Structure 1
Amino acid sequence: MRYIVIGAGAVGGTIGARLHQGGHEVVLVARGAHYEALKRDGLRLITPESSETLDIPAADGPVPTRDDDVLVLATKSQDTIAALAPWPSDLPVVCAQNGVDNERTVLRRFERVYGMCVWLPAQHLEPGVVAAHGHPYSGMLHVGRYPQGVDELAQRIADDLGKRGLVGRATPDVMRWKHGKLLGNLGNAVEALLGRGAGTAEIAERARAEARTVLDTAGIAYSTTEEELARRGHNVDIRPIDGVTRGGGSSWQSLARGSGSIEADYLNGEIVLLGRLHGVPTPVNEVLRREANRAAVGRRPPGSMSADELLALIEA
């Protein structure tokens, strides 16, 4: 079985590297300077234990496919449709992404869709380089068939992930875990806008409290922080890496790279959407969604807003 990782950034690059180290055939799909670096020099994976350059085949678009290919989609949610458009719809797709809308979107065109709940603290700020801060494993990945269940392929993917540097779990209720992860990701926009200064935790918790009310009203099940910590245990502790300054999460990195887009529509925006569908006000998440997009379009760096400014917008 060959894994084609579409979006070989922080998450995709780490997953592809670990699968390659586990003896599996992998192709990394990337764009621009990152693709050029991968093609020329290979992927440099830096962890708390080591720094290794891996010679993994790379492409900047679709490659000739095989019957045993699995597409691992690790792009941001706003890029899902464009990223999958050139690929044959008879291949299975694993959505290794934040948010909960990708699987439903992909299912419109692809019959075999798998959700993946990703706990993987990594960053990608330099072409050809991914730093994975998890220890002793780089990440924990729950995999299940969408919308529910575990089949033979889900179990095999989980087993393959667990062969080197990752914890893979085949999970029938993967979307419950992804909704729990969504609650955590609502703080991504706060971190991107404010950095890690005073007031960040308070605003993030207000966004999560608002979201829990929305999910409860909608009757949507979600995993709890306690469940996540129990599953993760000491498998994925965040450790420093010599010579690498750890920045923020995925949204923080989007602003740091000046990418021009951010995932807030599919994180905070998911709660706004559900709130509108079920008649629950969501002012905190709406302000976070809106302001994160403004920062991305304006190519403002992370931490460009103060907590007082953000709170004033929420209260207004």
Structure 2
Amino acid sequence: MRFIVYGAGAVGGVLGAYLHLSGQQVVLIARGAHLTAIRERGLTLEDATGSRTMAVPAVAGPREIEWRDGDVVLLGVKGQDTEAALRELAVYAPAATPVVCLQNGVDNERQALRAFEHVYGICVMSPTTHLTPGVVRADCHPVPGLLDVGRFPSGVDATAESIAAALRKAGYESVPRPDIMRWKYGKLLRNVGNAVDAVCGRADGVREIVGRIRAEAEAVLDAAGIAYTPEGEDNERRAGILKAAVADSRGGGSSWQSLARGTGHIEADYLSGEIVLVARLHGLTAPYNENARRWANLFAREGRPPASLPTEQWLATLPADA
């Protein structure tokens, strides 16, 4: 089994590094300065044990790979980049290639199933940071993350078992789960507050706003009859496993990092935006999630710095009846 990590940023880069260190075959797909740095100097992984630089094969896209039997794609791009990544993969990767969505959100697997028969989801619980081009950091130790895996839309097969075993060999906690999407919807509820974290930071009032966003999201999923892991079950899965190894210097999560790096795009349409979509499909409204989506997209589009919006201004743009 060889892993093609399509999107070697924070989560994908750290996972690719640990897979490589555990003796498993890895090819990274990266872009821009990150790709250049990996090719010229190697991929540097920082964790609680120190800093290691390793020579991991890295390419700019699927066309540069000599595809073979046993290849498994770990799709690690953000949700807004999934469609383009899959379109390119479908040209070069054999149709029987397993595609594993190493991503937040719940729409990636559905998109992948249009192009590939064998699709898997991973519920990503792995705090990581993309520090600089060529350098990534695992923020938990000794277990860098929880990466439970299952077939999409449901079930467990031999491939899922093999992937989970490979992840465990790399140092992760991984359990094959037949109901992986229930876990991913539970993770979605944890992620819907990312957009506010990104634009408002940790200012006074943010916790209350995030609480309202999550409560609204739960109500929408309940109304739509969509199963998700409740917070208590999610917390129990993490308990005693994910241990912070470094002081949190990120300032925020993955959406905050997108704004800090000035990427020009953000994942809000596939997090809070997913709740807005489900609400509209069922004749409901989700004003808090819609406000979160709109502000995050505005910040990304205009290149505004993260954590620079006062909570009062965020609240002032809610509908009067919200």
Which range, TM-score by smaller chain? over 0.9
1:51 counterpart SS class: strand
- Give 2:251's aligned amino acid: G
- Give 2:129's aligned amino acid: Q
Verify the 8 A CA contact 1:22 1:160 in the aligned structure 2: no
TM-aligned CA deviation for residue 290 of structure 1: 0.7
Q: 2: distance between equivalents of 1:165 and 1:249?
A: 22
- Give 2:135's aligned amino acid: V
- Give 1:238's aligned amino acid: A
1:27 counterpart SS class: strand
Candidates 215, 224, 230, aligned match of 2:221: 215
- Between the aligned residues of both structures, percent identity stands at 55
Q: 1: distance between equivalents of 2:134 and 2:212?
A: 37
In structure 2, the partner of 1:263 is: 267
TM-aligned CA deviation for residue 38 of structure 1: 0.6
- Give 2:300's aligned amino acid: A
Verify the 8 A CA contact 1:133 1:239 in the aligned structure 2: yes
In structure 1, the partner of 2:194 is: 188
Instruction: For structure 1, list consecutive stretches of 5 or more residues without a partner in the other structure.
Output: none
TM-aligned CA deviation for residue 239 of structure 1: 2.6
1:97 counterpart SS class: coil
- Give 2:86's aligned amino acid: L
| TM-score, length basis structure 2 | 0.95
2:288 is the counterpart of 1:248 = no
Q: 1: distance between equivalents of 2:236 and 2:26?
A: 31
Distance 1:238 1:314, change over 3 A: farther
Q: 1: distance between equivalents of 2:131 and 2:193?
A: 20
2:315 is the counterpart of 1:303 = no
In structure 2, the partner of 1:65 is: 67
In structure 2, the partner of 1:282 is: 286
Any idea what the Cα deviations from partners look like across 1:240-281, whole Å, max 9, x if unmatched? 16xx83332110011001000000000000000000111221
Any idea what the Cα deviations from partners look like across 1:117-173, whole Å, max 9, x if unmatched? 000101113100101101221100010000001100001100110113211111110
Q: 2: distance between equivalents of 1:81 and 1:257?
A: 22
Q: 1: distance between equivalents of 2:218 and 2:170?
A: 35
Verify the 8 A CA contact 2:213 2:288 in the aligned structure 1: yes
Shifted more, 21-30 versus 159-168: the winner is 159-168
TM-aligned CA deviation for residue 210 of structure 1: 0.4
In structure 2, the partner of 1:32 is: 32
- Give 1:282's aligned amino acid: A
TM-aligned CA deviation for residue 8 of structure 1: 0.1
Shifted more, 154-163 versus 227-236: the winner is 227-236
Q: 1: distance between equivalents of 2:303 and 2:101?
A: 27
2:309 counterpart SS class: coil
Q: 2: distance between equivalents of 1:141 and 1:247?
A: 24
| TM-score, length basis structure 1 | 0.97
2:122 is the counterpart of 1:116 = yes
Verify the 8 A CA contact 1:125 1:253 in the aligned structure 2: no
Q: 1: distance between equivalents of 2:293 and 2:266?
A: 9
2:215 is the counterpart of 1:177 = no
Distance 1:279 1:301, change over 3 A: same
Compute the RMSD of aligned alpha carbons: 1.1
Candidates 292, 315, 318, aligned match of 1:314: 318
TM-aligned CA deviation for residue 304 of structure 1: 1.7
Shifted more, 263-272 versus 247-256: the winner is 247-256
Q: 1: distance between equivalents of 2:191 and 2:158?
A: 30
- Give 1:7's aligned amino acid: G
- Give 1:165's aligned amino acid: G
Verify the 8 A CA contact 2:182 2:229 in the aligned structure 1: yes
2:317 counterpart SS class: helix
Verify the 8 A CA contact 1:268 1:286 in the aligned structure 2: yes
Verify the 8 A CA contact 1:240 1:246 in the aligned structure 2: no
Any idea what the Cα deviations from partners look like across 1:65-110, whole Å, max 9, x if unmatched? 0111000000000100111222223311000000000000110111
2:88 counterpart SS class: coil
TM-aligned CA deviation for residue 315 of structure 1: 4.5
Shifted more, 266-275 versus 162-171: the winner is 162-171
In structure 2, the partner of 1:82 is: 84
Verify the 8 A CA contact 2:250 2:257 in the aligned structure 1: no
2:189 counterpart SS class: helix
TM-aligned CA deviation for residue 51 of structure 1: 1.3
Verify the 8 A CA contact 2:86 2:115 in the aligned structure 1: no
